[in-house]
C-alpha cells in the first residue's frame, strides 16, 4: 500500500469539507511547509532552473510532487528535478502567469492550483510578523486560546528543527496595562529569529486566527525571564537539528531568502 503523506491527508480533509475555510487553509499550509520535487527540463545551472511547463486549457503549469517516487511514476523515465519548499516554489512562480500542478495522476491529492491561487498563497505567506516591544510585567498560564491554534503551532514548530531550544506559550500582562498572549523562544539562533517569527505568523494565518492574537519574543537561556516563561508557560519542544550546517547554501533553493531564478 502506498504511503499517505501529510499533503494527502490535508487534501482529503479539504475535499470532505468543501465549505470549511479552515480545512482549505490547513491544506495550503501543508503545501507551503512541505519539501516538493519540481520537474525540470534540464539540469540546474547554478541558481537558475528551467521548470518543465505544461500548457492546458486553464493555462501554464509547472509540476511538483511531495515524494521523489511520485515524480518518477508520473514521468516514466529519469528526469531532472530540484527539491524546494512549497513556499519557495510559490515565491518563485508568483507574478509569472504560471500555475502549480501537485501530485498529478499519481496520488489522491492531485490538484491544479491556478496562477491566481499561487499569487494568493504568496501574498498570504508574505504577511510579516511583528515582534513584541512593549514592556512585559507578568507571565501567566495561557488561557482561552482555541485548540486549532495550539495544534497549528505544534505542527509548525515541529518543522523548525535546531532553530531554538524550545518555546513557551504564556498569557501576559503589559507594563502600563493591557493583556495578551506571547510565544517566547528560548535559545534561538540569531539568524533564525526572523524565520521563527514568520512561522508563528503563518500558524495564526492558516489556523484562521486573528494575526494580532499572539506576540513573539526571543530570550537567551540565561535570561531570568526564560525561567519565568518555563514556570508559567505551555512548553513546545523543537526537534534537534540533524545537520548543523543547514544554513549553508549547497544547492538551488537552499537559501530561503533567495529562491532559484527561472530561465
Q: In the chain, where are the structural domains located? A: 6-126, 136-237
Q: What pLDDT shows up at residue 210?
A: 58
Lowest-pLDDT choice from 23-37, 117-131, 230-244: 117-131
d(CA 221, CA 185): 9
Using an 8 Å Cβ cutoff, are 122 and 106 in contact?
no
- In this prediction the pTM is 0.65
End-to-end, the C-alpha distance of the chain in Å comes to 38
Q: What is the pLDDT of residues 154-191, one digit of tens each?
A: 988 988 888 999 999 999 887 666 778 889 999 999 88
Q: What pLDDT shows up at residue 129?
A: 52
Question: In the block, which residue shows the cell 525571564?
Answer: 225
More confident call, 247 vs 229: 229
**Average pLDDT, integer, range 99-105:** 96
Question: In the block, which residue shows the cell 519557495?
Answer: 88
Of all residues in the chain, what percent carry a pLDDT higher than 70? 84
- pLDDT of residue 62 exceeding 90: yes
Q: What is the pLDDT of residues 134-149, one digit of tens each?
A: 566 788 999 888 888 8
**Using H for helix, E for strand and C for coil, what is the string for 19-67?**
CCHHHHHHHHHHHHHCEEEEEECCCCECCEECECCEEECCEEEEEEECC
Q: What pLDDT shows up at residue 23?
A: 87
CATH topology of domain 136-237: Alpha-Beta Plaits (3.30.70)
- pLDDT of residue 244 exceeding 50: no
- pLDDT of residue 114 exceeding 70: yes
- pLDDT of residue 9 exceeding 80: yes
Mention the CATH class of domain 6-126.
Answer: alpha beta
Q: What is the pLDDT of residues 124-134, one digit of tens each?
A: 887 655 555 55
Q: What pLDDT shows up at residue 1?
A: 43
Using an 8 Å Cβ cutoff, are 233 and 170 in contact?
yes
Q: What pLDDT shows up at residue 36?
A: 94
Lowest-pLDDT choice from 1-5, 12-16, 226-230, 253-257: 253-257
Lowest-pLDDT choice from 2-6, 88-92, 234-238, 240-244: 240-244
Amino acid at each position: 500500500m502506498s504511503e499517505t503523506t501529510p499533503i494527502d491527508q490535508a487534501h482529503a480533509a479539504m475535499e470532505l469539507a468543501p465549505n470549511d475555510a479552515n480545512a482549505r487553509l490547513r491544506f495550503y499550509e501543508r503545501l507551503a511547509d512541505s519539501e516538493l520535487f519540481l520537474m525540470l527540463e534540464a539540469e540546474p545551472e547554478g541558481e537558475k532552473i528551467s521548470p518543465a511547463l505544461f500548457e492546458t486549457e486553464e493555462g501554464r503549469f509547472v509540476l511538483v510532487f511531495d515524494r521523489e517516487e511520485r515524480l518518477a511514476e508520473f514521468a516514466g523515465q529519469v528526469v531532472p528535478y530540484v527539491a524546494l519548499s512549497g513556499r519557495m516554489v510559490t515565491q518563485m512562480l508568483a507574478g509569472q502567469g504560471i500555475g502549480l500542478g501537485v501530485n498529478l495522476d499519481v496520488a489522491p491529492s492531485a490538484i491544479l492550483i491556478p496562477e491566481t491561487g499561487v499569487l494568493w498563497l504568496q501574498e498570504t505567506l508574505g504577511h510579516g510578523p511583528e515582534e513584541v516591544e512593549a514592556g512585559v510585567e507578568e507571565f501567566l498560564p495561557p488561557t482561552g486560546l482555541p485548540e486549532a491554534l495550539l495544534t497549528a503551532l505544534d505542527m509548525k514548530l515541529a518543522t523548525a528543527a535546531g532553530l531554538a531550544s524550545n518555546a513557551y506559550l504564556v498569557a501576559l500582562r503589559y507594563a502600563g496595562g493591557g493583556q495578551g498572549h506571547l510565544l517566547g523562544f528560548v535559545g534561538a539562533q540569531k539568524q533564525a529569529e526572523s524565520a521563527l517569527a514568520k512561522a508563528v505568523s503563518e500558524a495564526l494565518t492558516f489556523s484562521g486566527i486573528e494575526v494580532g492574537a499572539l506576540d513573539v519574543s526571543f530570550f537567551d537561556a540565561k535570561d531570568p525571564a526564560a525561567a519565568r516563561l518555563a514556570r508559567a508557560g505551555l512548553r513546545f519542544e523543537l526537534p534537534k537539528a540533524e545537520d548543523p550546517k543547514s544554513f549553508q547554501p549547497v544547492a538551488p533553493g537552499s537559501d530561503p531568502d533567495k529562491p532559484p531564478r527561472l530561465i
